[in-house]
Amino acid sequence: MDRQKMSVVIRYFGIAFFLVLHNVQAALYIPPPPTLDDRAYLLLDYQSGQVLAAHNADEHLGPASLTKLMTSYLVEQALQDGRLHEDDTVSISERAWRHGSNQESTMFLPVHGQAKVIDLLRGIIVVSANDACTAVAEHIAGTESAFADMMNNSARAMGLSNTHFVNASGLPDPEHYSTAHDLAVLARHIIMDNPRYYSIYSEHDFTWGGHKQGNRNELLYSDPSVDGFKTGHTEESGYSLVASAHRHGMRLIAVVLGTNSMHARTEQARALLDWGFSFYQTVTPYKANAVLSHVHVWYAEKDHIAAGLASDMNLTVPKGSQNGLRATMVIRPDLQAPMKAGLVVGKIVTTLDGKPYAEYPLVALESDAEAGFIKRMWQHLLVFLEHLF
């Protein structure tokens, strides 16, 4: 190897390190996830975003009332950024009123009446009210089709590449579809982006206009660790459920689509959650903004700046692992001033028992201005001589 190549290798790997994280062992054996009689399922760890189990997770299926997860998300976003207020009143059009009849889920909103935004949000989440969905869609976007465009824009921003909406409530349509994977990611965004309203997803019942109705998520009544999310059903799609549970500092999100009964969707989601909590744990070996290294920056006022993670490193690993999880830091060799805080300067690569596991970007934790003329010229000379010899 010539001296030029040797220099690049040294600068690239010279600051790399190899650490044992949390003294965690790789489990010798994890039984396969439970065998489920559904069309698709997925189990996701909330903190790390890692998929622990999946079956047909990217198959396009009718989401039915699981569509309302996106409808409620957009209402919550509008409340959080001030475009809506909880006490704002919404007028109920004849079209919205009709979507609460003919055996569709309903809040029993009166035609040409009014309801508060917060009541409509509870109606959407707790009792899966189609009339409430149409009412808020028209209030926010003017028409339900325009609201569907907003839903699709939000889906794209979340990276839901296999999802497309044409209405706010989940009524069947060939162009209205999603997947187990996309719905799990959407549920994760609801918790992460709108924590103020997440508790509504655990409410057992909702009363409006003299009508008391119960939440159809049966896990809320039988498993105290479950605190959300939503059920769905149409004749075409079968019975579906997105459920989230929190046990011993770990949160999992389970999605089951296309089961044959309400009982089946409940028990299948329960089985997935129990399996995940039994055999996995989430660890956080590195916290956001902790200084993990000081990296070299060329032509800068400071020769080295602090580097770390922009967000916590959350990794979901098998329980009972033993010195199997390791991390290597790789620094870019070409960092030059000016340097802004937040710029990616390398990455942390983790392996589990020698196999690639996860990567996190390493970022600058501070800024660094360009050095004065004399220092820059001196460093240019050093680089020239390095390449020359």
- Judge if 122 and 244 occupy the same domain: yes
The answer to whether position 124 is within a domain reads yes
- Judge if 128 and 249 occupy the same domain: yes
Average pLDDT for residues 59-83, to the nearest whole number?
97
Report the pLDDT value the prediction gives residue 17, as an integer from 0 to 100.
38
The DSSP letter of residue 110 is P
- Judge if 222 and 301 occupy the same domain: no
* Distance (Å, whole) CA 20 – CA 261: 47
Report the pLDDT value the prediction gives residue 302, as an integer from 0 to 100.
84
pLDDT at 238 over 80: yes
The answer to whether position 268 is within a domain reads no
Catalytic residue among 65, 169, 244, 321: 65
- Domain closes at, from 259, 277, 299: 259
- Judge if 68 and 17 occupy the same domain: no
Residue 97 in tokens:
């009123």
Q: What is the pLDDT of residues 142-184, one digit of tens each?
A: 999 999 999 999 999 999 999 999 999 999 999 999 999 999 9
DSSP 269-336: HHHHHHHHHHHEEEEEEE-TT---EEEE-BTBSSSEEEEE-SS-EEEEEETT--S-EEEEEEE-TT-B
- Judge if 57 and 193 occupy the same domain: yes
The answer to whether position 280 is within a domain reads no
- Judge if 14 and 162 occupy the same domain: no
Lowest mean per-residue pLDDT among 29-33, 141-145, 170-174, 327-331: 29-33
User: Higher pLDDT residue, 49 or 324?
Assistant: 49
The answer to whether position 106 is within a domain reads yes
- Domain closes at, from 212, 242, 259: 259
Average pLDDT for residues 23-42, to the nearest whole number?
76
The answer to whether position 267 is within a domain reads no
Q: What are phi and psi of 241, to 5 degrees?
A: -155, 135
- Domain closes at, from 241, 259, 277: 259
The answer to whether position 125 is within a domain reads yes
Beta-carbon neighbour count of residue 85 at 10 Å?
12
- Judge if 373 and 253 occupy the same domain: no
Specify whether 128 is catalytic: yes
Q: Find the CATH number of the domain harbouring 377.
A: 2.60.410.10
Report the pLDDT value the prediction gives residue 46, as an integer from 0 to 100.
97
- Judge if 255 and 208 occupy the same domain: yes
- Judge if 253 and 312 occupy the same domain: no
pLDDT at 12 over 80: no
The answer to whether position 275 is within a domain reads no
Lowest mean per-residue pLDDT among 22-31, 154-163, 263-272: 22-31
Answer for the pair 330, 349: CB distance below 8 angstroms, yes or no: yes
Report the pLDDT value the prediction gives residue 6, as an integer from 0 to 100.
32
pTM attached to this predicted model: 0.85
- Judge if 11 and 142 occupy the same domain: no
Q: Find the CATH number of the domain harbouring 200.
A: 3.40.710.10
Percent composition of the chain: helix, strand, coil (DSSP 3-state, to 5): 35, 30, 35
Catalytic residue among 48, 68, 230, 321: 68
Q: What's the domain range around 246?
A: 40-259
Catalytic residue among 72, 128, 178, 293: 128
Lowest mean per-residue pLDDT among 101-110, 218-227, 329-338: 101-110
* Distance (Å, whole) CA 14 – CA 284: 26
Average pLDDT for residues 217-236, to the nearest whole number?
96
The answer to whether position 276 is within a domain reads no
Report the pLDDT value the prediction gives residue 366, as an integer from 0 to 100.
93
Q: Choose among 151, 145, 133, 128: nearest CA to 65.
A: 128
- Judge if 186 and 322 occupy the same domain: no
- Judge if 200 and 252 occupy the same domain: yes
- The total domain count for the chain is 2
pLDDT band at 7 (very low <50, low <70, confident <90, very high): very low
